[in-house]
Amino acid sequence: MLESAPVSHRFLRACRREPVDVTPIWIMRQAGRYLPEYRAVREKVSFLELARSPDLAAEVTVQPITRLDVDAAILFSDILLVLPPMGLEVSFADEGGPRVQPVRGRDEVARLRSFDPSVELKYVGEAIRRTRRALDGRVPLIGFCGAPWTLLTYAVEGGSTRTFAASKRLLYGDPDTCRLLLSKLGAAVRSHLLYQIESGAEAVQIFDSWAGELSASDYEAMVLPVMQGIVADLKATGVPVIVYANGGAALLERLARTGADVVGVDHRVPLDDAWARLGEGVAVMGNLDPTALFADVPAIERMADDILRRAAGRPGHIFNLGHGILPETPPDHAKALVDRVHRHTPLKASPNDVGGMASGALGAS
């Protein structure tokens, strides 16, 4: 049997909006190029070799737990891994982002395959099992995948884009094919995340890196139904589901309606405003600007305190950056952030308040 993190781990408790001793924190891309121990591994293997090697993926997944003392591990993997088994080859360069064999037109969309992740993405399941053994119950392990809309942009544009012209042309010019593609991508996301949960992931995150390029009405009409279906199926496993939307300031009410346990918000919207719009029924993750970690430590602490202050008074805040940590970040600054969040948590100040606030919030949900 695998050692599980205790169900009472503060990260999992916060996902369920239960009171915690201190605010839990993890960092998007915490296993990444800003860490010298990660770069040492990457000198020997490519990005894709690393993602496909269960032992090495487990090794780099655990690195930031040891160094930073964060409250959750996130599997070293990539948001696009479902595309190749669907029939769309992906190549990863260190610069310029991934390149994807683009899908164009209804016939090509119709030809995209469904697949069995326990066969085609078996290395992900194996990496999860090895990571869980290496973590030995210290912190929970998060699995993840790209969201259907974000996967659609990579598949349709053939990679990164600034204008999203091809994606939007599909959305506005051929909405039926767009819906078909979102639906097929949604099915792949769902089966891949369920496989990650079966393999031992204790929470899952759906990364919608490009949700912010959609208007609220387009998100609602095209994307929300697909997301609701995925989230409902994942939640049936009992594992918390995090939906993260970069640039999602205009979408918050709709993001709450995905049914996610936790909505991750970027750094562009003040956390208290975001949470007021998300409503009582959801936990919130965020939202320090990743570039804030370029500041000196006292300035980082001030900015962290401001976010903690905005989240105080109700349980269900998971501290994170608003987007992935940048490769130029000094690791000591990331550690200083984690320490600050662990030391300075408004909820901690008055233990008697915690129960009252918690039961109040839970009662309202």
Interacting residues toward a copy of itself by CB under 8 A: 163-165, 167-169, 171-173, 212-213, 215-217, 247, 249-250, 267-270, 289-292, 294-296, 299, 306, 326, 328
Helix H or strand E encompassing 320:
strand 317-321
Residue closer to a copy of itself, measured from CB, 50 or 252: 252
User: Out of 13, 17, 78, 266, which one is annotated catalytic?
Assistant: 78
| Residues 201/143, Cβ–Cβ less than 8 Å | yes
Residue closer to a copy of itself, measured from CB, 123 or 294: 294
Task: Output the smallest distance, CB 193 to a copy of itself, in A.
Answer: 27
Q: Report the candidate in 186, 125, 181, 188 with the shortest Cα–Cα distance to residue 156.
A: 181
User: Out of 10, 13, 17, 29, which one is annotated catalytic?
Assistant: 29
Q: Cα separations (Å) of 150 from 83, 181, 205, 266, 335?
A: 12, 12, 13, 16, 30
Task: Output the smallest distance, CB 256 to a copy of itself, in A.
Answer: 17
Residue closer to a copy of itself, measured from CB, 70 or 171: 171
Q: Please write down the HEC assignment for all residues of 91-125.
A: ECCCCCCCEECCCCHHHHHHHCCCCCHHHHCHHHH
Task: Output the smallest distance, CB 254 to a copy of itself, in A.
Answer: 12
Active site residue 106: no
Residue closer to a copy of itself, measured from CB, 99 or 268: 268
Task: Output the smallest distance, CB 72 to a copy of itself, in A.
Answer: 24
Residue closer to a copy of itself, measured from CB, 71 or 213: 213
**Number of residues assigned to the chain:** 365
| Residues 271/319, Cβ–Cβ less than 8 Å | no
Q: Please tell me whether the peptide bond between 246 and the residue prior to it is cis, using omega within 30 degrees of 0.
A: no
Q: Residue type at 34? A: Y
Angle between helices 165-173 and 175-199 (to 10 degrees): 120
| Residues 257/228, Cβ–Cβ less than 8 Å | yes
Residue closer to a copy of itself, measured from CB, 208 or 261: 208
Q: Report the candidate in 16, 69, 9 with the shortest Cα–Cα distance to residue 284.
A: 16
User: Which phi and psi (to 5°) does residue 159 adopt?
Assistant: 150, -155
Active site residue 195: no
User: Out of 16, 21, 33, 289, which one is annotated catalytic?
Assistant: 33
User: Out of 16, 42, 99, 277, which one is annotated catalytic?
Assistant: 42
Active site residue 273: no
Active site residue 17: no
User: Out of 38, 154, 195, 219, which one is annotated catalytic?
Assistant: 154
Angle between helices 122-135 and 175-199 (to 10 degrees): 40
Task: Output the smallest distance, CB 173 to a copy of itself, in A.
Answer: 5
User: Which phi and psi (to 5°) does residue 143 adopt?
Assistant: -100, 165
Residue closer to a copy of itself, measured from CB, 127 or 311: 311
Task: Output the smallest distance, CB 102 to a copy of itself, in A.
Answer: 15
Rounded CA Rg of the chain? 20
Task: Output the smallest distance, CB 18 to a copy of itself, in A.
Answer: 30
Active site residue 154: yes
Q: What dihedral angle (degrees, nearest 10) is formed by the CA atoms of 13, 15, 16, 20?
A: 30
Number of neighbouring beta carbons within 10 Å of residue 69: 14
Give the pair of three-digit tokens for residue 228. Answer: 């609701």
Residues serving a catalytic function are 29, 33, 42, 78, 154
